Amino acid sequence: MSKDLNQKIYVAGHRGMVGSAIVRNLQAKGFNNIVTRTHAEMDLTDQAAVKAFFEQEKPDQVYLAAAKVGGIHANNTFPAEFIYDNLMVQNNVIHQAFLNGVKKLLFLGSSCIYPKLAAQPMSEDALLTGKLEPTNEPYAVAKIAGIKMCESYNRQYGQSHGVDYRSVMPTNLYGPGDNYHPENSHVIPALIRRFHEAKINNAPEVVIWGTGTPRREFLYVDDMAAASVFVMHLAKATYDSQTQPMQSHINVGYGSDVTINELAQAVAKATGYRGNIVFDSTKPDGAPRKWMSSERLNKLGWTPKVNLEEGLVQAYLAFDGQ
Ligand SMILES: NC(=O)c1ccc[n+]([C@@H]2O[C@H](COP(=O)([O-])OP(=O)(O)OC[C@H]3O[C@@H](n4cnc5c(N)ncnc54)[C@H](OP(=O)(O)O)[C@@H]3O)[C@@H](O)[C@H]2O)c1
């Protein structure tokens, strides 16, 4: 970890779930020169605005945690926005970072950009080996382009300009700052909302789609932020030891998964709901298992600290305090 706590760090998307956790992590470590802009202050799809920002602020490092994200429904309804916004945001930020002398940048990919039928657990070399999940293909194509853009800048400008742009691939994240929208949220925030409402309304049961047997992996967002800062500060030779010039991303997972049934029980416990949990097995289950291999990150010396039970309590506290 660099001791220079004064270096100027731009966290793009600092009001989002991941960006705000990265800011918390950096501040806790004593970094005191963090620069941010809200979406209203700077639309990252606006090339001229991003150019002016980088020319004015000249940051030393960039965490690119701004993106248009959403669940299946949003991805299906707004595919043009998902591909356009994400390509524009990342192109503008990565290219202007380069033009303005930024040597260190961290790009955030996602486990959902691996092929739909990738072998489990998904390892880094599964990227671009098969067809993508159709519902989020535009988003995934943009994210893959972002990883390849970082790699290409490293390959062309690494030697000449000292460019060292890295990518991390988070599994499903949850925690403070999550999106709890009733129709358009990921599984953990959706369950937190439903169990919370069931508790308030004394509902005798909560019905969950599917059999409850599919397995999924979840990582607490502050662990994700810690992993991001860890990967950003690895010595180049150490990072290079677990990556390749054209396969430069590192998976960030929890390392184990749970069934949806186990998850539901854990959310019920965290929210204090004491009624019944019923699984509607006439509804579809999705893939039987999705999790990532975090072997490379573990070898580099990082493991998560927050288990699901503890993370859900924190997530619920943040939700209930909203
Ligand atoms: N959440 C997960 O489970 C998960 C899993 C894997 C990977 N990731 C990755 O982590 C990153 C951050 O995700 P997140 O969950 O933190 O999302 P989030 O909570 O929606 O945060 C994204 C942030 O980016 C901002 N933003 C979006 N478009 C912008 C634009 N055109 N100009 C300026 N700001 C813009 C948003 O501002 P507004 O809200 O004002 O638009 C928001 O503050 C993404 O790259 C995502 O792919 C997330």
How do the pLDDT tens digits run along the chain, 322 residues long?
556 999 999 999 999 999 999 999 999 999 999 999 999 999 999 999 999 999 999 999 999 999 999 888 889 999 999 999 999 999 999 999 999 999 999 999 999 999 999 999 999 999 999 999 999 999 999 999 999 999 999 999 999 999 999 999 999 999 999 999 877 788 999 999 999 999 999 999 999 999 999 999 999 999 999 999 999 999 999 999 999 999 999 999 999 999 999 999 999 999 999 999 999 999 988 889 999 999 999 999 999 999 999 999 999 999 987 7
Q: What is the pTM of this model?
A: 0.96
Measured from the CB, is residue 14 less than 6 Å from ligand 1? no
The residue written with tokens 């945690």 in the block is 65
Q: Is 118 in the pocket of ligand 1 (CB under 6 A)?
A: no
Ligand 1 pocket test: which of 23, 37, 38, 39 has the largest number of ligand atoms within 8 Å of its C-beta? 39
Q: Which atom of ligand 1 is nearest to the CA of 178?
A: 19
Contacts of residue 41, Cβ cutoff 8 Å, sequence gap at least 6: none
171 C-alpha to center of ligand 1: Å?
A: 14
Coil, helix or strand at residue 264:
helix
Give the integer Cα–Cα distance in Å for 144 and 184.
23
CA geometry: angle 28, 30, 36, nearest 5 deg: 85
The angle that helices 308-320 and 187-200 make with each other, rounded to 10 degrees, is: 60
Q: What is the pLDDT of residue 72?
A: 83
pLDDT at 124: 98
CA distances from 270 to 111, 176, 304 (A): 26, 14, 20
The pair of three-digit structure tokens given for residue 306, joined into one six-digit string: 């927050």
